[in-house]
Amino acid sequence: MSNVRPDPDALLASLKHEEARARRGRLKVFLGMCPGVGKTYAMLRAAQQERVAGVDIAVGVVETHGRAETEAILAGLAVVPRRSVEYRGTNLTEMDLEALLARQPRIVLVDELAHTNAPGSRHAKRWQDVLELLEAGSEVFTTLNIQHVESRADAVRQITGAPVHETVPDSLLDLADEMELLDLTSEALLERLREGKVYLGERAAAAQAGFFQDSHLNALRELALRYTAERVERQLRTMRAGSAKQTVWRSGERLIVAVGPSPFSTQLVRWTRRMAAALGAPWLAVYVEGSATLNPEAQRLLDKNLALARELGAEVVLTHDEDAAAALVRVALQRNATQIVVGKPRSRRWLDILRGGTLVDRLVRLGGNIDIYVVPAESGPRHRQWLDYDAPWHSGPQEYGWVAGVIAAVTLGGFLLPQNYYLAVGLVYLLAVIALSLRVGRGPVLMSGVVSALTWNYLFIPPRYTFQINKVEDATLFGTYFIVALIAGQLTARIRAQARHERLREERATALFQLTRALAEARTLDDAVFAALRQTDELFGAKTTLLLADESGQEVYPHFAGSQAVEDKERAVAVWAFQNRRPAGRFTDTLPSSTGYYVPLVREEHAVGVLGLTLAEEGTLTLAQRDLLDSFARQLALIVERDHLRAAGEREKLLAESEKLHRTLLDSVSHELRTPLAVITAAAENLAVAEAPLRASLVEEVRTAARRLNRLVGNLLDQTRLESGALKPKIDWCDARDIVNAALDGVRDALAGHPLEVIMSDELPPVRVDFALTEQALANLLLNATLHTPADTAVFLTAGIERGGKRVYFTVADRGPGFPVAMKERLFKKFERGDAARAGGLGLGLSIVRGFVTAQGGEIMVGENPGGGAVFTLYLPHTPPGAVPSE
Amino acid sequence: MSTPGKKSTILVVDDEIQIRRLLRISLEAAGFAVREADTGQTGLAEIATHPPDAIILDLGLPDMSGVEFVRRLREWSRLPILVVTVRAAENDKVEALDAGADDYVTKPFGASEVTARLRAILRRIQTDDRPALTKFGDIEVDLAARLVRRAGIEVKLTGKEYGLLRLLVAHRGKVITHRQILRELWGPKAEANSHYLRVHMTHLRQKLEADPHRPRHFRTEAGIGYRLIED
């Protein structure tokens, strides 16, 4: 196979990458293996070089840590003063993002990319500030240690044993246009440390004992080198993908990582990210929601894991299934994933045996040719999975009351039976447990199983009133009872949970279906938006706001359909979400103190608006709700985009039409103008030398050409007047005979070869029309009649008042070829010319006639002349004149 | 007719040099003396210092509207004015005529048309003592005796018909607007009842024209008014 064409998807992705980069400012990262390698120094030195070249540079934030040589090289650079933030009594200073955005320097220096901002700042993390600076078009120089790279955080922790709290997502680093690795051998670094060039005084000693151990440093150095090497390789691949020199590109690789509410999942996610980056493949993080509900702590952990995945560039997919393995394989098949990454189970659980093996076993069995990666968990506190789920005893006391009541009733009933009927009592107990499991939660069912078993044993199984069982038969019965009660209870509870999920899913599907239907039914964008927002209000029990982008796509304006006005402060959050195409506000890392949650409506590469959701004070958004809201936002974006496209399409069509018109106009005008001009020029030249007898005919030629020119200009002017709307008919009383005569005078020369018959009543009263417009309309019709009929054929002109006296009519009829039916439709359009147009012309005549007639509230009809030819009839409104006072 | 021996002087106010040149050629050939002005201001100054016998005024001047020119001139002079307009500017024409211009020609115009119009407006000024008897075609109008004869036979006219005829005869060869006629015959409030005029004109034509459907003498000026043509 010698397929040398670049994969279109890859090419498109690389193009989009280029495009996005062109808008964004450049990002240059100075990467080091640990503090003290000279990142800040290197950054400042680079900045000084730029400064010498005359580039506008601003220092957003630079930490000198009291290092003398760093302080020295900072001299001469413009420092934007830091913003001070009061937090719990201490004064913290942070980079002043607002001031930097307002100042818009060419290059901003931002030290320590991984820094966490003081609470109350716009963003939780400094890298988010940097992202915004980049989006605003500034170039950013920044420093970073390898330990703070999200995908390497685990590795660093394993090396140093110290947890990493501040991390920068790899997706941000992927944006970097340039990455400079500051490499230093561990010996040299330790030397620097001893010389006090890294930390001063006591801190230096502490650091050397902890972080700065020789072995650590070597491992970190390797990590940093490898990270940079991988990056270079990736860049190479991007170039290769774009340049059609494809030999090793494995297209179509796609990874799936299973994510759960476990701290171990973060490692899995990072591992997958590294793998995906190395393969250059897209990846998905999948959470399989089972029947049990997560407790808030686990929910938080899950949210965090999924957010991490999102941040690292994964697409997050939620799915529902009792069987995680089946769900993963299903998603993998649907999305054409080639590899599934799961954590290595620590031990087999007894339930696995019932299910037919561990998750991994089952994945391998179901997965077919999908590669399964099993990543071992590192040692750490054992995570007890069952703790993640809502504790069984969370059910209300009422349910336990039910359990107690039912068991008490069965027990009482049991006493009414003879002693040796204890087996029957046991069956009734079992029935009661199963019946209860249909009504109450897991906990109460579990309790009913245990309590009923014990009660049965104590009160009924001989010997009575002891927990002792003598017969093997009874013991077997008791054991079986216990297990059956437990399993039955669990199974029923699960069925109920499944039903609940089914219901939720159905609700979600219904909501989406209703939304799509409402959107499809809406005739205008406003209708659609209104329907969508009302549904959002209802579904989320929230107030919604919607801001839509204007035509230019630069500004957003609130849409009236929102159920809540947009305050200035909230609007700023919405604008941020819009500009950065990422959710902002409450429940996010960006401006989390705002009251609303803002989701951008994103289509392709640009945002078309922002959907805002303001929940009640204590309200939260579950994962499923966020998912649903995302779907809503996507639908809305689609509808807005569709509207934009339609509008753009209409504009384009109009433009194309007017362009076509222009071309036609230019072509025919230039032809129509040049012909008579050529005649005049030639005739004038000949006149100078011509003999007397020739002169008269030459003069006549000039006259004819001039008349033709005059008519052409007149038509163009008339058409312009009609189109500009400047035409205001001057309706006054006119003598129809006068109008006819004036029209005939205008075209007398053209009419020369055609016998003319005028049929008008002598008693025609004055008519109220615009004299000039009507005359011109008639003249154009007469001229057409002469142009489009053979010489010597008759032309008829009639005028009169219609029976009923409401309309006055003028008809011009000829004996020409008439019109083909198909022609009639186009007849009155601009620049339409008769097929057999003899004398050229612009094709404006009839268009003007119709314009002049409709301007006066009349209409024009075209028909067949009985006996051959065409008939044009003008109808104009008529009111009989008042009586003329007698004298 | 211009008085033999003394040429009538015509001032051409037009910003187009080619039009001025062409008018000069044709007017001088027809026996007029021609002076030129290229703006309204210089035109007015020229008239004040060296009054011509008549003015040819283009309505599309760069520095002032033709109607304003006519109004300002009419404040202190009764000199005859012939305005030159383009087609589709009926409103301007009517306004200029109502403001006191004497007649108009429409661009593009023939030289003969201009000289004929000029002669008509000059004659009206020169023959202030109008003869009581006017003849055109086979029609004789005796203003003194209020008698109208066609081919020697007296024609009975109603009061308004006669009034209309008298007005046209007084302005013969020259256009007279609907508004001017209506004011003259019915008073200033009658302008809305312009169909009176159409009816009377129809009657007049029926009584005096050989072919009332193709009138020779009582000509309609589209959208403007009427003109009595003598020949």
Q: Is A356 on the interface with B (CB under 8 A)?
A: no
Quick check: A316 pLDDT over 50? yes
The DSSP string of A591-655 is STTSSSEEEEEEETTEEEEEEEEE--TT----HHHHHHHHHHHHHHHHHHHHHHHHHHHHHHHHH
Quick check: B55 pLDDT over 90? yes
Task: Say if CB A837 and CB A786 are below 8 A apart.
Answer: no
B90/A766 Cβ within 8 A = no
Q: Which amino acid is at A709?
A: L
Q: CA of B221 to nearest chain A CA: how many angstroms apart?
A: 8
pLDDT of residue A211: 67
Taking alpha carbons only, the member of A15, A34, A383 closest to residue A216 is A34
A758/B195 Cβ within 8 A = no
The helix or strand, by DSSP H or E, that contains position A316, with its residue range, turns out to be strand A315-320
pLDDT, chain A, mean: 79
**Bridge partners of residue A584, in order along the sequence:** A598
Residue A148, both tokens: 């703070």
Task: Say if CB A364 and CB A378 are below 8 A apart.
Answer: no
Residue A45 has φ and ψ, to the nearest 5°, of -65, -40
B91/A742 Cβ within 8 A = no
Q: CA of B159 to nearest chain A CA: how many angstroms apart?
A: 7
pLDDT tens, position by position, A690-731: 787 888 888 888 888 888 888 788 878 877 877 777 777 888
Stretch A168-178: mean pLDDT: 83
Q: Is B93 on the interface with A (CB under 8 A)?
A: no
What is the distance between the alpha carbons of residues A711 and A706, in angstroms, rounded to a whole number?
9
- The structure tokens 């390797």 sit at A222
Give the rounded percent of residues in chain A with a pLDDT score beyond 70.
86
Quick check: A499 pLDDT over 90? no
* Helix, strand, coil distribution of chain A in percent, nearest 5: 55, 15, 30
pLDDT tens, position by position, B118-174: 888 887 665 555 667 888 888 888 888 888 888 888 888 888 888 899 888 888 888
Stretch A459-486: mean pLDDT: 84
What is the distance between the alpha carbons of residues A745 and A740, in angstroms, rounded to a whole number?
9
B158/A884 Cβ within 8 A = no
Query: CA A512, A514, A520 angle in degrees (round to 5)?
Result: 100
pLDDT of residue A143: 92
pLDDT tens, position by position, A28-42: 999 988 888 888 888
pLDDT of residue A2: 43
Q: Which amino acid is at A728?
A: K
Q: Classify residue A794 by its DSSP letter.
A: -
- The structure tokens 């079986």 sit at A480
Residues 9 through 28 of chain B touching chain A, CB cutoff 8 Å = none
A760/B223 Cβ within 8 A = no
**Bridge partners of residue B57, in order along the sequence:** B13, B83
Best mutation target among B158, B195, B226 (most A Cβ atoms within 10 Å) is B195
Stretch A452-466: mean pLDDT: 85
B213/A758 Cβ within 8 A = yes
Contacts A706 to B, Cβ<8 Å: 108
Quick check: A337 pLDDT over 60? yes
Contacts A775 to B, Cβ<8 Å: 222
Q: CA of B199 to nearest chain A CA: how many angstroms apart?
A: 7
The DSSP string of B3-50 is PTTSPPEEEEE-S-HHHHHHHHHHHHHTT-EEEEESSHHHHHHHHHHS
What is the distance between the alpha carbons of residues A632 and A637, in angstroms, rounded to a whole number?
8
Give the lowest-confidence range in A268-282, A549-563, A654-668. Answer: A654-668
CA–CA distances in Å: residue B3 to residues A200, B10, B77, B126, B171: 119, 14, 21, 9, 20
Q: Is A766 on the interface with B (CB under 8 A)?
A: yes
What is the distance between the alpha carbons of residues A522 and A608, in angstroms, rounded to a whole number?
19
B197/A730 Cβ within 8 A = no
- The length of chain B is 231
- 3-class DSSP state of A394: helix
What is the distance between the alpha carbons of residues B136 and A110, in angstroms, rounded to a whole number?
102
Per DSSP (E only), the strands in A650-709 are none
Could you tell me the pLDDT band of residue B12, with boundaries at 50, 70 and 90?
Answer: very high
Task: Say if CB A851 and CB A719 are below 8 A apart.
Answer: yes
A887/B159 Cβ within 8 A = yes
Taking alpha carbons only, the member of A183, A184, A181, A189 closest to residue A208 is A189
Task: Say if CB B82 and CB B11 are below 8 A apart.
Answer: no
pLDDT of residue A825: 65
Q: Is A884 on the interface with B (CB under 8 A)?
A: yes
Contacts B199 to A, Cβ<8 Å: 765-766, 881, 884
Task: Say if CB A872 and CB A853 are below 8 A apart.
Answer: no
pLDDT of residue B10: 93
Q: Is B112 on the interface with A (CB under 8 A)?
A: no
pLDDT of residue A174: 82
Quick check: A670 pLDDT over 80? no
Stretch A93-100: mean pLDDT: 88
* Residues in Cβ contact with A262 at an 8 Å cutoff, skipping those fewer than 6 apart: A301, A305, A343, A383, A385, A388
- 3-class DSSP state of A820: coil
The helix or strand, by DSSP H or E, that contains position A73, with its residue range, turns out to be helix A68-74
What is the distance between the alpha carbons of residues B218 and A833, in angstroms, rounded to a whole number?
38
Quick check: A507 pLDDT over 80? no
Strand-pair category, A83-87 with B9-13: unpaired
Q: CA of A717 to nearest chain B CA: how many angstroms apart?
A: 8
Q: Which amino acid is at A691?
A: E
Could you tell me the pLDDT band of residue A204, with boundaries at 50, 70 and 90?
Answer: low
pLDDT tens, position by position, A876-886: 988 887 777 76
Show the 3-state SS of A454-515: HHHHHHHCCCCCCCCCCCHHHHHHHHHHHHHHHHHHHHHHHHHHHHHHHHHHHHHHHHHHHH
Residues 698 through 737 of chain A touching chain B, CB cutoff 8 Å = 706, 710, 714, 717-718, 721, 730, 732-735, 737
Q: Classify residue A673 by its DSSP letter.
A: H
What is the distance between the alpha carbons of residues B144 and B142, in angstroms, rounded to a whole number?
6
Give the lowest-confidence range in A151-165, A184-198, A820-834. Answer: A820-834
What is the distance between the alpha carbons of residues A253 and B85, in angstroms, rounded to a whole number?
80
Quick check: B33 pLDDT over 90? yes
Q: Classify residue B129 by its DSSP letter.
A: S
Task: Say if CB B201 and CB B153 are below 8 A apart.
Answer: no
Query: CA A295, A299, A300 angle in degrees (round to 5)?
Result: 120
Quick check: A250 pLDDT over 50? no
What is the distance between the alpha carbons of residues A322 and A325, in angstroms, rounded to a whole number?
9
Quick check: A391 pLDDT over 70? no
* Residues in Cβ contact with A744 at an 8 Å cutoff, skipping those fewer than 6 apart: A751, A756, A758, A782, A797
What is the distance between the alpha carbons of residues A739 and A779, in angstroms, rounded to a whole number?
10
pLDDT tens, position by position, A40-84: 888 998 888 888 888 888 999 888 877 778 888 888 888 888 888
pLDDT of residue A501: 72
Q: Is B87 on the interface with A (CB under 8 A)?
A: yes
pLDDT tens, position by position, A252-299: 678 889 888 888 888 888 888 888 888 778 888 988 877 666 777 787
Q: Is A129 on the interface with B (CB under 8 A)?
A: no
ipTM entry: 0.78
What is the distance between the alpha carbons of residues A329 and A364, in angstroms, rounded to a whole number?
10
Give the lowest-confidence range in A550-559, A665-674, B21-30. Answer: A665-674
What is the distance between the alpha carbons of residues A838 and A844, in angstroms, rounded to a whole number?
15
pLDDT tens, position by position, B60-99: 888 888 888 999 999 888 899 999 887 656 778 888 888 8
Residues 172 through 191 of chain B touching chain A, CB cutoff 8 Å = 178
More reliable by pLDDT, A351 or B42 = B42
Query: CA B13, B56, B44 angle in degrees (round to 5)?
Result: 45
Quick check: A313 pLDDT over 80? no
Give the rounded percent of residues in chain B with a pLDDT score beyond 70.
92
Residue B23, both tokens: 């008018």
CA–CA distances in Å: residue A291 to residues A29, A318, A389, A770, B212: 46, 14, 10, 82, 102
Quick check: B35 pLDDT over 90? yes
More reliable by pLDDT, A243 or A305 = A305
A737/B213 Cβ within 8 A = yes
Per DSSP (E only), the strands in A21-104 are 27-32, 57-61, 78-79, 83-87, 90-94
- 3-class DSSP state of B155: coil
Give the lowest-confidence range in A94-98, A484-488, A510-514, A609-613. Answer: A510-514
* Residues in Cβ contact with A6 at an 8 Å cutoff, skipping those fewer than 6 apart: A241, A242, A243, A244, A246
Question: How many CB atoms neighbour CB A751 within 10 A?
Answer: 16
